[in-house]
Amino acid sequence: MLLAGALFALFMVGFWLYCLVDVVLTPSDECRRLPKAAWVAVVAVTFVIGAVAWLAVRSPADPGQLRPA
């Protein structure tokens, strides 16, 4: 049981770090709804909730890839 909790915590920290790095590396003009600095603060302060919010509203990397061929 302890191992499962530790693995879940490790996964959540990795997910949070992925989202935080994604916010930092995203160009400012591609950030939606809030300025880039606000997104960094939201993800950094609210941990997983901010990370999920970032994934929900961020722009796709390449909109052309989403269209069927």
67 in a structural domain: no
**Crossing angle (nearest 10°) for helices 2-25 and 36-46:** 170
Cα dist. 19→3, 12, 69 in Å? 24, 11, 29
69 in a structural domain: no
Q: Is 36 exposed, middle or buried (0-12, 13-18, 19+ CB in 10 A)?
A: middle
Domain count within the chain: 1
**Calpha distance 69→67 (Å, rounded):** 6
Residue 65: predicted pLDDT: 55
Residue 63: predicted pLDDT: 61
Kindly report, residue by residue over 10-68, the tens digit of the pLDDT.
999 999 999 999 999 999 888 888 999 999 999 999 999 999 999 999 866 566 655 55
Residue 61: predicted pLDDT: 57
65 in a structural domain: no
Q: For the chain, how long is the longest CA-to-CA vector?
A: 47
Full-model pTM: 0.80
Give the domain extent around 24: 2-59
Residue 58: predicted pLDDT: 85
- Is 70 exceeded by the pLDDT of residue 69? no
